[in-house]
């Protein structure tokens, strides 16, 4: 794996985790949004990742040993909405309450979102650490050449 290839892999991970943190922040910010532009409560969003495709076929990857395999990084395949049911909260004073006094609230769970934020933050930090390690190895290689 070349130096620049490893930096590209780390950069793709940083970009993907940054977008994941942005979507999680959006979920947290809309935890009490009962009416969006379509008239429904806010739906929780999740980020789905996939490996960036490289030119190698699956068969050729299996034939090669892992030390010869060059990864290609990660990319966001799509941002999906969580189709789980909305939470029903009894609040007859709320302007969006139905005739029984219940309000449909977003399907966002703050604890789950905070756990996901911590996970995304740790993944981001791991990519930064890997990028710094690659940079330090390149600097050491340059020092050897002196």
Tell me: the pLDDT tens digits for 97-106? 999 999 999 9
Across the range 105-132, mean pLDDT stands at: 95
Q: Helix axis angle, 3-29 relative to 110-144, nearest 10°?
A: 160
Same domain, 72 and 125: yes
91 is in which domain, residue-wise? 35-41+84-107
Q: Of 66, 38, 45, 50, nearest to 12 (Cα)? A: 50
Same domain, 99 and 127: no
Same domain, 52 and 121: yes
pTM: 0.81
Same domain, 62 and 133: yes
Same domain, 21 and 88: no
Q: Residues 4-16: pLDDT tens digits? A: 788 888 999 999 9
Euclidean distance between CA atoms 49 and 54, whole angstroms = 15
* pLDDT exceeds cutoff 70 at 125: yes
**pLDDT computed for residue 138 by the predictor:** 86
Same domain, 51 and 7: yes
Same domain, 64 and 92: no
Q: 105 is written with which tokens?
A: 């609230």
Same domain, 89 and 136: no
Same domain, 112 and 135: yes
Same domain, 113 and 65: yes
Same domain, 20 and 67: yes
Q: Residues 63-98: pLDDT tens digits? A: 555 445 567 788 899 999 999 999 999 999 999 999
Same domain, 51 and 77: yes
Q: Residues 17-55: pLDDT tens digits? A: 999 999 999 999 999 999 999 999 999 999 999 888 765
Total structural domains within the chain: 2
DSSP per position, 65-114: -TTT-----EEEEEEEE--SPPEEEE-TTSTT--TTSEEEEPS--HHHHH
Q: Of 42, 47, 23, nearest to 86 (Cα)? A: 42
* pLDDT exceeds cutoff 80 at 110: yes
């Amino acid at each position: 794996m070349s130096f620049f290839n490893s930096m590209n892999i780390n950069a793709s991970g940083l970009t993907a985790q940054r977008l994941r943190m942005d979507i999680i922040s959006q979920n947290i910010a809309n935890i009490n949004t009962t009416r969006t532009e379509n008239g429904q409560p806010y739906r929780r969003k999740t980020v789905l990742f996939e490996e960036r495709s490289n030119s190698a076929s699956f068969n050729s990857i299996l034939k090669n040993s892992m030390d010869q395999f060059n990864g290609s990084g990660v990319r966001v395949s799509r941002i999906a909405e969580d189709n789980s049911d909305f939470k029903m909260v009894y609040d007859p004073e709320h302007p969006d309450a139905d005739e029984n006094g219940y309000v449909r609230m977003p399907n966002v769970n703050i604890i789950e979102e905070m756990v996901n934020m911590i996970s995304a933050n740790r993944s981001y930090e791991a990519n930064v650490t890997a990028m710094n390690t690659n940079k330090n190895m390149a600097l050491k290689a340059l020092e050897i050449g002196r």
